[in-house]
Structure 1
Amino acid sequence: MSSYVTKKTPGNTAWFTHDRFGMFIHWGLYAMPARHEWVKTRERTPEAKYDLYFKYFNPDLYDAKEWARQAKAAGMKYAVFTTKHHEGFCMFDSQYTDYKCTNTPAGRDLVREFVDAFRAEGIRIGFYYSLIDWHHPDFTIDVNHPRRDDPDAKQQNEGRDMHRYAEYMRNQVRELLTNYGKIDIMWFDFSYSQRHGEGDKAWLGGKGKNDWESEELIALARSIQPEIIIDNRTEIEQDIWTPEQFQPTDWFRHPKTGELVTWEACQTFSGSWGYYRDEYTWKSPEMLLRMLISTVANGGNLIMNVGPTARGYLDSRAEEALKVYADWMKYNSRSIYGCTKAEPEFKTPTDCRLTQSEDGKRLYIHLFAYPFDNMKVEGLAGKIEYAQFLHDGSEVKFTEGKVELLSDDKQEDDETAAFFYLPHVKPNCLVPVIEVFLK
């Protein structure tokens, strides 16, 4: 069994740390301007202009079943869908607002279709719900709000009531956790209480747990779905820590206690979460695989985002990225599911990453750079029963304690190490994996 012990969580994270790989879906009205999901606040867009997106939102090519098929093929075991992003637009048929997809030309509950399609493929269901709402009349203007630079911004705040807004959020979360069956993840986003305005805008503060009434919100969620996983972005610690757009190089630890925590790297195929037509920093196939492997090698999960188009399909760049995972996971998923950081006694070779099954019986060596002829792994001598390439199950020969070379004067001895003999030509696999069966 793995010797790593993580901080206890309120929800059930056992399945989460086994499945390791999920899909994020950021989709809303912002897919229409197609230049980042924060476009409303970046461009200080007035309501009258943003209402045009509401008026013409019509994802006529939305096929949730096709999305689910692609997610499953990519090896993703859970999916988190944006039910409401910061713009305030609801992708479900909420009875507490008119600002929802059923009142657009879409004319139907888009969350319902997502849930039914992904659940049918055996994928666990998660809901993203923004704590921020730039449309709601009670959400006070703050440091992130689109109206923060208006000359009368302070006057616009008069009469707004965050207590009423917090009640609105609870009502909607109750709908989401009651009307769609078992929900596995509630992904709230996000607190920023430490932020504030400057100069004559110093009154513009951020928002945190007191504004969201986070304790009540979390208590409500757990009362309806007791085993649900909740992230820590309400400013109250819960089940998972969610580093975003950077890759931790070791197991993510609690910033105060230093304890190992359950964590999830949140990443995008490109530089945006929502569909961004003209954004071109899309990650290479090698980088996509390395991010997944390195995350699991450090005891974490990876959730990779797609931003569907305004017409409701995944564009070719997103489909190509998903296929990278599909092609690799088809043969190598055993080194990801049910795996975690390898025991410290096994020293990672140069340009490799190690994962190990949680029962400790198998070690997986991921070859980021393919070595010539042989590879040394310290700490493995006397512990190997058998070794093979994972993608095709072909044997990989090894010796223990020393490597046998053609040149007798270049012997290398290391009584702790195993030496694997590799074919001179790299297998037809982007990142080959050696599966080591331990004694």
Structure 2
Amino acid sequence: MANEHTDHMQWFMNDRFGMFIHWGLYAIPARGEWVRSLEKLTAEQYEPFFREFNPIKYNPREWARAAKAAGMKYAVMTAKHHDGFCLFDSQLTDYKATNTPAGRDLIRAYIDAFREEGIRIGLYYSIIDWHHEDYPHYGDKIHPMRDNDAFIDKPIDFDNYLTYMHGQVKELLTGYGKIDVMWFDFSYDDMTGEKWRATELVTMMRAIQPDIVIDNRLGGDKKSAQPEAFAGDFMSPEQLLPAEGIVNEAGQPLPWEACITLNDHWGYCSGDTNYKSPKTVIRGLVECVSKGGNLLLNVGPNAKGQIPPQSLDILADVGRWMDDNARSIYGCGPSKLEKPEWGRYTQNGNLLYAHIYDRGMGPINFRGLQGKIKRARLLADGTEIKVETPWNAWEYPLDAFISFSSAELPDDIDTVVELELISD
């Protein structure tokens, strides 16, 4: 079957929740990860950030512990972002963390720390590069020098850049042990697919690490019945949750992962305090799972190497909810039942999880489940919940009902009831 979920994807579709980490030189100006492009900074204007990059508070073990406590099962960190600066000790460039006051391979430290906590390892690699001499400058859609007349006649050797880019990907896949996810970013306009020698790149990657999970941003049509080799393993909607689960042209579900920021920027932005609430994050995670997807939630550490305290507080609150309710997330996916008015369903086999957001008036209605529920429990503490038909529900013979003694829900963020269904 086209687009079938092969064995190497099973962990990804089981774990559901990951941490995205955007970090680099842009943490110093603290105006977001696109600062060089948006402000059209020259290489000379950006260079001081390279010379002073010294994250003295960088402790990836603290990051890993925060991710684990939040219930995150995998992480993806920027090995190289669009500005071309490498957090790893690439042998193909001098534009790397080991040549800054940081003085060490920051990716190796990340990998070691997260592995120690049992968290799967992902690496983000931008196929765009605003630092490399042979990446298109003038006239490119997003290069900082796109409108700078000094670069009109600048000669480039794009094949040389591709050799460099492929070489760095090979370094990342051969120098750090098993890598679970390679997260490329991003194709645009005619800079897509074989422009990157994408089939050659993916063939090389699969030869080195056959089980690696790759996103879809090299290009190609993942929704096609016969997607290209470089179309990737999963779809990657950004800063939005799809209205429904993502399917291919034959109507078959595709793996997907929504990447979402905690505030309004990926990289550290000191003036951005528009943080999402723990409730928003939790309900967003539930929505992803209820539609067959994952949530990759971003943090942007500051120039000293610290995850902002607002982010840590949110992650801690999410973790407290996950401590009680993770069984409704891990290993779960969509239910065939329609979305209920009071919240959402997730399901794992014959265990149906009712995520109740709205107490409403009267009993909670499980439409179409009369006679199909073996037992019901409050997932947070295992309390038995009686499934019964109230005297005034005689007009709804196909529906099952539960009642709460209080006018308020036990958990106003998301009260989860585990329903064990009778096997057909």
State the TM bucket, normalised to the shorter chain: over 0.9
Pairwise CA distance, 1:286: 1.7
Distance 1:372 1:107 in 2: 61
- Displacement of 1:426 in angstroms is 2.2
The whole-number CA distance in structure 1 between the counterparts of 2:103 and 2:18 is 28
Counterpart for residue 224 of structure 2: none
Is 2:362 the counterpart of 1:380? no
CA shift, 1:36, in A, is 1.1
Aligned equivalents of 1:81, 1:10: Cα separation in 2: 25
Percent pairwise identity = 46
Look up the match of 2:152. 154
Q: What letter corresponds to residue 383 of structure 2 in structure 1?
A: S
2:68–2:119: 8 Å Cα contact kept in structure 1? Answer: yes
CA distance 1:6–1:371, shift in 2 (3 Å)? farther
- SS of equivalent residue, structure 1 residue 163: helix
Summarize deviations over 1:103-145 as a string: whole Å, max 9, x none: 0000000000100000011100011000000000111121110
In the alignment, structure 1 residue 250 sits paired with structure 2 residue 232: no
Q: Residue 285 of structure 1: CA displacement?
A: 2.0
1:328 matches 2:318:
no
In structure 2, runs of 5+ residues without a counterpart are 221-230
* Aligned counterparts of 1:6 and 1:431: Cα–Cα separation in 2: 36
Residue 417 (1) aligns with residue 399 (2): yes
Q: Which residue of 2 aligns with 1:97?
A: 93
- TM-score normalised over the length of structure 2: 0.93
Does the 8 Å contact 1:162/1:211 carry over to 2? no
Deviation at 1:370, TM superposition (A): 2.4
Q: Secondary structure at the match of 1:187?
A: strand
Q: How far apart in 2 are the matches of 1:329 and 1:24?
A: 18
Separation (CA, whole Å) in 2 of partners of 1:100 and 1:419 = 60
Match of 1:40 among 36, 40, 50: 36
- SS of the equivalent of 1:433 reads strand
Give the aligned residue type for 1:365. Answer: A
Mapped to 2, the partners of 1:39 and 1:382 lie a distance apart of 59
**CA apart distance, 1:428:** 4.4
CA distance in 1, matches of 2:411, 2:233: 39
Structure-2 change in CA distance of 1:381 and 1:10 (3 Å): closer
CA contact (8 A) 2:263 2:275 kept: yes
Q: Secondary structure at the match of 1:143?
A: coil
Q: Is the 8 A contact 2:357 2:412 kept in 1?
A: no
Letter in 2 for 1:100: K
RMSD, aligned CA: 1.5
Q: Which residue of 1 aligns with 2:143?
A: 145
**Which TM-score applies when normalising by structure 1?**
0.90
C-alpha separation in 2, matches of 1:115 and 1:426: 41
Counterpart CA distance in 1 for 2:196 and 2:274 is 34
Q: Which residue of 1 aligns with 2:191?
A: 207
Which amino acid in the other structure matches residue 142 of structure 2?
Answer: N
Measured in 2, the distance between the counterparts of 1:280 and 1:79 equals 23
C-alpha distance in 2 between matches for 1:143 and 1:153: 14
1:300-339 pair list within 5 angstroms: 300-339=293-332
Deviation at 1:243, TM superposition (A): 0.4
Change (3 A) 1:290 1:182: same
1:396 aligns to what? 385
1:434 is matched with which residue?
417
Once residues 411 and 108 of structure 1 are traced to their aligned partners in structure 2, the CA distance between those partners, rounded to angstroms, is: 67
Post-superposition offset of 1:10: 6.5
Instruction: Count residues in correspondence.
Output: 409
Q: Residue 358 of structure 2: which of 359, 369, 374 is its match?
A: 369
Supply the AA of the counterpart residue of 1:145.
H
Give the drift of 1:280: 2.6
Cα distance in 1, alignment partners of residues 151 and 338 from structure 2: 58
Q: Is the 8 A contact 2:278 2:315 kept in 1?
A: no
Query: Equivalent residues in 2 for 1:23-38 (5 A)?
Result: 23-38=19-34
Mapped partners of 2:420, 2:159: distance in 1: 57
Residue of 274, 277, 285 corresponding to 1:281: 274
Superposition deviation, residue 398 in structure 1 = 1.3
Deviations 1:58-83 (A, max 9, x none): 00000000000000000000000100
Confirm whether residue 110 of structure 1 aligns to residue 92 of structure 2. no
d(CA) in 1 for partners of 2:296 and 2:198?
24
Name the structure 2 match of 1:293. 286
Q: Note if contact 1:6-1:261 (Cα within 8 Å) is conserved in structure 2.
A: no
DSSP 3-state at the match of 2:128: coil
Q: Post-superposition shift, 1:39?
A: 0.5
The answer for the alignment partner of 1:342 in structure 2 is 335
Deviations 1:376-407 (A, max 9, x none): 111211111110111111111111xx423xxx
Give the partner amino acid of 1:84.
Answer: K
Q: CA deviation at 1:294?
A: 0.4
Paired position in structure 2 for 1:266: 259
Instruction: Report the 3-state secondary structure (helix = DSSP H, G, I; strand = E; otherwise coil) of the residue aligned with 1:188.
Output: strand
Between 380-389 and 94-103, the greater mean CA deviation after superposition: 380-389
Cα offset, 1:373, TM superposition: 4.3
CA distance change for structure 1 residues 10 and 153 in 2, over 3 Å: closer, same or farther? Answer: farther
Counterpart Cα distance in 1 of 2:6 and 2:372: 37
CA contact (8 A) 1:26 1:273 kept: yes
